[in-house]
């Protein structure tokens, strides 16, 4: 569906750039809502899922809060609060760094790894969910978004 129909907008945008930015924001929110609704039955948020995936990528090596924050998709998220919630759910462990006592090590637990193995299908099904674009078109969209951020 066209953006103007989604937004029930009768007037045209001030410029193609204005339409592009609104469309990126609208579509980004639409994708996030879709993924978040699929994660809800597993009791984790999209941001918590992102932290777990970062930690799994580092596993078995520990990570620091700073490293997690640098790698998060939503860098405005409070990584300390997210890790605290994951600790409460026993999906991560936190301990003092052996090399630098001022640092805190965070590592994903076996329970966290098991949860991710059960949610991996959500990411794996992107190929089917978004197959309205060819692989070449998907690559082009990704490249154009990269170019936009340059």
Longest dimension (CA), the chain: 61
* H or E element, residue 129: helix 126-129
Please choose, from the candidates 58, 71, 76, the residue with its C-alpha nearest in 3D space to the C-alpha of residue 112: 58
Among 70-79, 86-95, 122-131, which range has the highest average pLDDT? 86-95
The predicted pLDDT at position 77 comes to: 76
Residues 62, 93 contacting (CB under 8 angstroms): no
Spans of all domains in the chain: 1-42, 43-124
The predicted pLDDT at position 97 comes to: 64
Decide which of 3.40.50.970, 3.40.50.2300, 1.10.10.10, 2.60.40.420 is the CATH code for 43-124. 1.10.10.10
């Amino acid at each position: 569906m066209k953006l103007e129909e989604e937004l029930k907008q009768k007037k045209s945008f001030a410029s193609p750039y204005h339409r592009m930015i609104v469309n990126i924001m609208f579509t980004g929110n639409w994708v996030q809502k879709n993924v978040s609704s699929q994660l809800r039955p597993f009791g984790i948020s999209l941001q918590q899922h992102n932290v777990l995936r970062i930690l799994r990528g580092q596993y078995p090596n520990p990570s620091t809060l700073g490293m997690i924050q640098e790698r998060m998709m939503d860098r405005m998220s409070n990584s300390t609060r997210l890790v605290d919630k994951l600790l409460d759910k026993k999906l991560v462990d936190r301990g003092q760094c052996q090399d630098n006592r001022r640092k805190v090590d965070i590592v994903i637990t076996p329970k966290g790894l098991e949860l991710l193995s059960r949610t991996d299908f959500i990411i794996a099904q992107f190929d089917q969910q978004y197959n309205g674009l060819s692989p070449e078109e998907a690559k082009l969209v990704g490249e154009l978004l990269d170019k936009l951020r340059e």
